[in-house]
Amino acid sequence: MSAIKDGRMPVELNGKTYYLLFSLNALDEMQDRFGGYDKLDKAFDQSNPTMIKDLRWLLTLIINEGMEEGETPLTEQQVGKLIHIGNLPQIKDAIFSAFVYSTNGGEEKEAADGEADTTEEGNRVAVQDE
């Protein structure tokens, strides 16, 4: 299945492509941890004392949900090595973009000019060191 049809959004972290997926499993775990998936923005608010832990936990969850069957799941420590102060804002943006992408059935909302790039390459979010 392509990323457009299965709801997985490609993201590049340190030169490697991962796929983020807000599956029903992920939404259920988010509900338990945050009190609902509608509280995603509050989880990443600067006033949240566990924001960094929540970010690492959620990124690990949605990367693992986006993996193909048989791939070895990543640990929070492995995912934590992909995140640093320099790419933290881009990581948050990628998570929000993946949430919107997944909840739209794997399709981008139309751009203002009416020409959204719905190819996998166009949907890829690059988060890497400069």
Task: Tell me which amino acid residue 38 is.
Answer: D
Tell me the whole-structure pTM to 2 decimals.
0.77
| Residue 114 backbone dihedrals phi, psi, to 5 degrees | 85, 5
pLDDT in tens, the chain (130 residues): 444 468 899 999 989 999 999 999 999 999 999 998 888 888 889 899 999 999 999 999 999 999 999 999 999 999 999 999 999 999 999 999 999 988 776 566 554 444 444 444 555 555 555 4
Residue type, 53: K
- Rounded Cα gap, residues 102 and 88, in angstroms: 21
Instruction: Tell me the residue length of the chain.
Output: 130
Residue 104: Cβ within 10 Å count = 11
End-to-end CA gap in the chain: 32
